[in-house]
Amino acid sequence: MSSALPTEIHVSSWEELQHVLFRDTWDGRIGRFRSPFVYRGVRSRDYTLSTSLQRLGGPYHELEHHLLRNFRKYAHDTAVPDHSSVWDWLAVAQHHGLPTRLLDWTYSPYVALHFATDDLEAYHQDGVIWALNYVKAAEYMPARLRDALRAEGSNVFTPELLQPVCRNLRELEEMQPEQPFLLFLEPPSLDARILHQYALFALMSTAQADLDTWLEEHPELFFRIILPAHLKWETRDKLDQANITERVLFPGLGGLSRWLHRHYSQAHGQPGPGPSRPTVED
């Protein structure tokens, strides 16, 4: 196993990948393996950690308030109560595809692996798994937020926990305007997808703050696993065998169809897994 950078780890086998995915997860205080990391898998190592809001381009930071305001206005007939906080609405908006400053992460390294290998059109590219220490990242938040987490005995916020100490995005930015910070937000259980993906959101304190840049300034908080293109098929097939599939992570007919489409697609240069090659699922 070689490392091009202290924060970048290249693996060459499934066995190496397992070792690295669960590195530094022993918690001697409680004598258990409890990971302080959250994970994000992407299909190409060239992808950045930019948000959907930032990818709008232009003066995107000026649009954030209007996007959320109109989302709330036109989504009035949803199951979201009128008294819900902006944090609830942000989570709902992100979940349904509105451009926001939120970025999807998961507590599960295998769910992250799924998203690094779910696109067969990207199998010629190296993928990447980001691992970010959310416990240590909380130390860079303002004291008021740290105290709220400490009083709750938690390492991440929920909308209910965040609302009393910070009511909106403007207050979040004003807490520490010269030093942007990162916080993690566990969304409400909007549907089974959130639960099955073991999901949470990351957000920077300002819309313009760049998570890639912030992590470069705090290299002790993260590492990246480079998943080589030649290892993607083996990884994908073993995830399927472990039942980490679209059928499970996206409950419903859409997820089932996506899983079947990928499952019966052929590997490049190989015969497809048709009826003559039955699988466990068959």
Range of the domain at 71: 2-263
CA-CA distances (angstroms) from residue 14 to 94, 235, 236?
33, 7, 11
190: pLDDT strictly greater than 60: yes
Considering the domain boundaries, does residue 270 fall inside one? no
Query: What confidence category does residue 127 fall into, taking pLDDT thresholds of 50, 70 and 90?
Result: very high
Is residue 116 within 8 Å of residue 227, measured between CB atoms? Answer: yes
- The pLDDT, as a whole number, for residue 187 is 86
CB atoms within 10 A of CB 136: 15
196: pLDDT strictly greater than 90: no
105: pLDDT strictly greater than 60: yes
In the chain, the percentage of residues whose pLDDT exceeds 70 is 89
Considering the domain boundaries, does residue 280 fall inside one? no
Nearest of 77, 102, 81, 78 to residue 90 by alpha carbon: 102
75: pLDDT strictly greater than 90: no
In the chain, the percentage of residues whose pLDDT exceeds 90 is 79
Considering the domain boundaries, does residue 77 fall inside one? yes
Domain count, the chain: 1
Query: What confidence category does residue 4 fall into, taking pLDDT thresholds of 50, 70 and 90?
Result: very low
Query: What confidence category does residue 77 fall into, taking pLDDT thresholds of 50, 70 and 90?
Result: low
281: pLDDT strictly greater than 80: no
Average pLDDT over residues 198-203: 93
Half-sphere exposure of 164 (CA within 13 A, CB side): 9
pTM for the full predicted model: 0.89
With H, G, I as helix, E, B as strand and everything else as coil, classify residue 104: strand
Buried b (16+ CB within 10 A) or exposed e, 152-180: eeebbbbbebbbebbeebeebbebbeeeb
Considering the domain boundaries, does residue 272 fall inside one? no
- The pLDDT, as a whole number, for residue 8 is 94
Average pLDDT over residues 17-32: 94
Query: What confidence category does residue 267 fall into, taking pLDDT thresholds of 50, 70 and 90?
Result: confident
188: pLDDT strictly greater than 90: no
150: pLDDT strictly greater than 50: yes
The lowest-confidence range among 4-13, 44-53, 64-73, 261-270 is 261-270
Considering the domain boundaries, does residue 282 fall inside one? no
d(CA 95, CA 91): 6
Average pLDDT over residues 35-58: 96
Considering the domain boundaries, does residue 273 fall inside one? no
- The pLDDT, as a whole number, for residue 280 is 40
Query: What confidence category does residue 194 fall into, taking pLDDT thresholds of 50, 70 and 90?
Result: confident
54: pLDDT strictly greater than 90: yes
Considering the domain boundaries, does residue 281 fall inside one? no
**Both tokens assigned to 138:** 């909380």
Considering the domain boundaries, does residue 275 fall inside one? no
